Structure 1
Amino acid sequence: MANDNQAIKLLILDDSQNNAERMVSLLRNAGHATRAHRVTSIEDLQECLQQNWDICLAQTETSYMTAEDAITLIKRQSRDIPFILLKPEIDLEMRTEALRSGMTDAIPHDADVLLTLIVDRELANLNARRQRRIVEQTLREAEKRCQLLLDSSVDAIAYVHDGMHIYTNRAYGELFGYEDPDDLAAEPMVGLIDGDDQGAFKDFLRHYASQGGQNEIRCKAVDSNGKRFPVVLSFSPASYDGEPCTQVVIRAETASSDFEEKLKAMASRDLVTGMFNRAYFQEQLDSVRDQAVRQGQPSTLVYLSIDGFSSLQADIGIGAADLLLTDLAQMLRAHFSEDTLMARFADDACSILIEGQEPEAATEQLEALRTKIETHLFETNGRTVRMTVSMGVASISETNADPVEAIDRAHRLAEQLGNNGGNGIKVFNPLEELALQANRGNLIALIRHTLETNGFRLLFQPIISLRGDEAENYETFLRLLNHEGEEVPAADFLPAAQEAGLALEIDRWVITQAVKLLSNHRGRGADTHLLLNLSGASLQEADMVEWIAGKLKEARLPADAIIFQFHDADINTYLKQAKVHTEALHRMHCRVSISHFGGALNPYAALKHVHADYIKIDGSFTRDLSDPKAVETLKGIISSLHSQGKLTIVPYVDSAAMMPTLWQAGANYIQGHYLQPPSDSMNYDFSAD
């Protein structure tokens, strides 16, 4: 399916502008950013076909051409554009005829839900075709380069199918005494193996063909003159001229071979646990993918994460934690069969590959492992330690063969379990993934609908001065309600809006509404200022400051009545744009604030380029002010900011006990639920402070 960030390019064949706008609105409400063009003539369509389009929606007939004429023109120009016919009524014969003419589908023009589903399907199909064309071209180029490398390689390389040579390079021919490599074509490979080793060689080939696994064998080879010499043969799955086969790389064995093998083995191991390391594990997954695609053999990938490992390591120490990991590795080796691929994938996680089994078949074994770990008493440096694990499970199969995707899925599931108490197993369910994607689409549609109907709510939370500033300051917060009237967390809908390209539109809505409300409120004599949160999209919009100036002028508000606040992460991401925008805002006499300050590696670096009047310190610095170290850290940040002429805002003030500490730390302003939670109106009594 098209990425939510990328607008779909829509062609519409319809004489009615209203119908065209209804189609665009329908797709936007379904979560698709849309760039549409309504065709007005045959010449217009011909000109449009010089570009790429994602979908064409067509009425049966327009004043300038029929749908059949349009699809004929599209096919004649070899354009890959899904073409959907919309008719008042559709029967089976009409639909069959539409498909026969080259159209993608034909549906009743008022079947809105069906249309959105078919558009989703066709966008996914179109994207797959485009990706396939790119991959095929890349493959052709790669094959040309590989052929050149094979022909000129100093390594002896052959491609073998059913034990017969189908290609050998020059180095391979020379190794066996053949001047022309083609002399080995269609010759059995076993004929190059010494008679004493042929039995073992055939057994190896049978086992490798059926199960994969070990991919090297040592034996003696025989050249064309009958001379015998020791070799190491390395096998790997490959294809040649589009046919599956096996690549064989042969190297003569030398006195240094054993040493090289030891170095290779050391490079693939984790030194703490003795398990394979992450790089080796990922490398082996390539052969697993090949078995899944070519032989239909499924495998189960498990991401096993130790719950609360950071806290555990801090408690018992790094050395003791390493001993704990070693014991866990021994437990895993004892629990699974000897040929199970296992690795230390991260500091706090192991990965396990169970070949030949779907996740459902492996669940019982994994549950037994989870229970065993939970009930085991680990001994480390004289201490008894208990721990639990979270296991995310995904399959590598014919239809889900990408091992990187399987690792991501399993890791994501393990992380979800860990964040919800851990000590569990969760198997990836594609239906749940589809449901999440559907929910994302529904959320984007809700955001669009709320924008169109002015359904967002603005809440206001007072910002209180600790240093005698008598002005009334409020921060605005945006709220979204679903169809049941329930509040959608900002952490859910704001990222969705960003991904769908709606963040700038939301920023403009917030400014427009806030300016109106503030103008009315100040009209009653209050010296009130609003702090508005804007996204990174506003920093990227070249004419945003000019647009803001127009809104302030329209509402007859002084520029300093609004403080524009940007997230520290957005400031650092778009530093050049932030510098330009904040300078322009200051020329208008608007003020600027940066929120979530202190979370970056070098939080003060951006302040050399971006002039901010206020700094709102990240809430993590006020979570535990009972800790003297936390207080000193906060004092240090505030002192440093004051030395640069910044006014500081400390959020999340949830109790009276925090007030003396924040006063002593030098904070200029505070806000939090203890003072007043966000509310629908600007009604805080500032005179009471």
Structure 2
Amino acid sequence: MAIEKKTIRLLILEDSQNEAERLVSLFRNAGQATRVHRLTGIDDLNEALQHSWDLLICAPSSEALDPTEAIAAIRRQAKDIPAIQLLANNDSDDITAALSLGAQDALPQGEDERLVLVAKRELANLEERRGRRASEVALREAEKRCQLLLESSVDAITYVHDGMHIYANRAYLELFAYEDADELEGMPMIDLIGASDQASFKDFLKNYQGHDGHAELQCNGVKANGHSFAAQMSFSPATYDGEPCTQVVIRAHSGNAELEEKLREISSQDLVTGLFNRNHFLGLMDAAAERAVNAGQPATLAYIRADHYASLLAEVGLAGIDILLTDLANLLRSHFPGEAQLARFGDDVFTVLLPGLSPEDCREQLGSLLKKVESNLFDVNGRTVQSTLSIGVAGLNEKTAKAQEVVNRAHRCADELSEGNGLKLFDPADELAAAANRGSIVAMIQQALENNSFHLMFQPIISLRGDNFEHYEALLRLHNPQGEEITPLELFTAAKGAGLAEKIDRWVILNSIKLLADHRSKGHETRLFVHLSSASLQDQTLLPWLSVALKAARLPSDSLVFQFSEPDAIAYLKQAKAITQGLNELHCKTALTQFGCALNPFNTLKHLHLDFIKIDSSFSQDLGNPENQEALKTLLTSLHSQAKLTIVPFVESASVLATLWQAGVNYIQGYYLQGPSQSMDYDFASGED
């Protein structure tokens, strides 16, 4: 139940240190990293407000600072910090009063699950507001840049609403021989159209009103001095000052259509090779990406680099290299079919866009190109020159978000051919590896799932009362590309955020079953505790899948103990109830971890079929304190009266063993006994002596 992927910065107005820590534990038990500051007065609040915070939680009352004063101070300083007011009761008048004073929500103190849900909502709203403000700033900057581009454009551009000019750039004014934009403001555009074309222009505008895309019209324009000229008008939907309108771009015809076509052709060409230039090719890539996403039309990009370009340049000179590149371009033209689009993308780079083909479809054709170039003898000013190519290949498909990403992938593939004269097709696993190397935990998880590269560790759970079974807990571990272990908190927080927790659970279950079946085949009576995330609690396909997996492994069902946490059980109590019933029908054992932190933990037990209860680690801390000992004994007595087998984890020293024995604990676990190990090798017999 992760609230946010990032660390939340939390202000708490609460006089009781213990209650403040309990509130913080709600978030931390949900797997959320939390940075907290407890307010001690108005001066402390003013100092804290010099920094950035995400949420304020106020107790019903505080001697240090009145909650209404705290909320008012935040509003005075115009800080966007959502406030949640806790109340001593559920009185609707108190709730209304808190909301009217500026709290985002008010709820009775102690409704922990509701508090976390409200906090999740307010944090999400805060992120939306921050994102909107950033977008508004970006929009204003974009509008400024667009205005500058409009003013400096050589094309005549106007914006028209209901047939009337609302904006015209300098080029438009010059084209129609007007001195000032004020002269055009409010003037119907039809007044600038020749009389013979006005009827057709009206008809065009009527039909265009419902047109969502680009349209063109040829007609005669009339200048302010009465002179007319042939104009090509391009219409497209736009907005100006937030209002919908139509953008019209006008180009005056020179009268020589052949010359204009030639000029357009030259503007898209590389002058040396006659192929498309880089800018035009990027436009072709954008169009291909749009077709791939919207129409399901795949395409392939080949990024072709001439090997050893610097050496060739030194050998034949600038004039010679142009001849070589031209010959290479001609060879490419003859090699690829007519629908292929070729460009000179850089000094030593050609690109080819092959529509309708996947990268694998192009492998043979590109492979034959490598051989053709390698065997070709180029003639450069009477000298024989040989060259080879490095070709990187990437595809455009329905998942292509940006054409530039495809170019980058093909570029990287070509770069990886350090020996040259080679061909490399983009593999998504390479991109995943690159993201993992950059520190993306989600990418590391995806890699581990694909490559089966997680590690399972096993920590013994030792009986204090004599038990024929050997018990271990299966613990998942993941190392980053540098060999360092990812902390479990980072691992599972990232997995929840990316929606991968369920897949991880199934990996752990499947591999635990295999390892346990092998271990039991050697004569061990072993049970394995396996953790289920909140995602698995909600997965209705888990039980049927598990039944098949257990039968396939021929493993006794009661040799597996499936455990989940108390916070998850409370959040998904209905699902937890169903899954414990289902596991019981499969004869699997069940356990609840982190038990005892809820306000009424035993209420949860009424709904769940559980065999083991693992006490929260906070109960085993500072057991030298008689008050803490008594709290643990009271909890254990209640559990044992319900015939629950109890486990105390995080046993770190010998000094607590006598206390735990006297308290009647059934099982203990911790580094004092043995830390997680790569194998199930603990000597349980020695522990009984």
Shared fold, TM over 0.5 = no
Give the TM-score category using the shorter length: 0.3 to 0.5
TM-score (norm 2): 0.44
